[in-house]
Amino acid sequence: MFRRASLSRMIERLGAARGDIIRDGRRPLPPGLSGILDEIDETVMARRLVFHNDRGEEMTLEIRSRRLFWAGLGQLAGGTRQAGSGLVLSQAASEEISALVDTLRRFGMAGTLSVESGPPMYQPALDEAGLPATVLYRLSGQGSAPLEADCATDPEPSLEDFAATCHPLSLALVLRGPDGNWCDSGDTALVAELVEALENFMSFQPGDFNEMPLGATLSRPGTPDASLALFADGQGHLAAYVAPEQEAALQAAWADWLARQSGP
């Protein structure tokens, strides 16, 4: 089983301490290819990540739901790709993907790495699935650590622990009670209503919440700025995170849809 980010690590990334931010809004990363791959694996909300290395090179990746959708590579040492060119992963051939992994490896070898995060600019088509982080781990030969390695020494905190200590980061904590119904212990009932409505979707499987950890991003087509990050702990608990600047957009984007799900 290839490495997957633990639930606590994904939540930690959403509420990254300001002490991790360095000059120009860049956050330091562990050196090497693993630092880049882990960053992809731990990014749930749709983000544009710009990586920098000690050679002054720059690389831009568009990531959502722990999948790579677009890669923009500047002029890298020993490479031929020109600044401004981009690789759409859904259209990439296998040799292009392998070449991308090699480029990531060369980029990560240039000493200290840092990354800055911003809103996405690439809008994937509805049929685009992106490239999962697990595929990148496999192609790079980096995917040997099992999921359990993330919490070998420290037990994984529950979502209730998360809500108690970091609740300002979370819009709501939704719990499935003994009767099987969802209840909302957060600041708004919107997320609980959304989860109930999603159960009517054939593509949404409530049983997925038995997987630990589960990280997913939900957004309505055409409204990429109204995204919701969901985390399940396998115990019937679901935490939903919305960036403060996205809260109004989320409310507006889902309100009409939720009203239609409740019937005439």
Between 57-66, 133-142, 192-201, the lowest mean confidence (pLDDT) is in 192-201
Token pair in block for residue 182: 């969802």
Quote the CA–CA distance of 192 and 186 in Å, as a whole number: 9
pLDDT digits (tens, 9 = 90+) for 62-97: 988 788 999 987 655 555 444 345 778 777 788 888
Quote the CA–CA distance of 97 and 259 in Å, as a whole number: 43
State the DSSP H helix or E strand holding residue 73, giving kind and residue range, or none if neither.
Answer: strand 67-73
Residue type, 238: L
pLDDT digits (tens, 9 = 90+) for 103-123: 899 898 878 899 998 888 888
**173, 160 in Cβ contact below 8 A?**
yes
**75, 84 in Cβ contact below 8 A?**
no
pLDDT at 162: 63
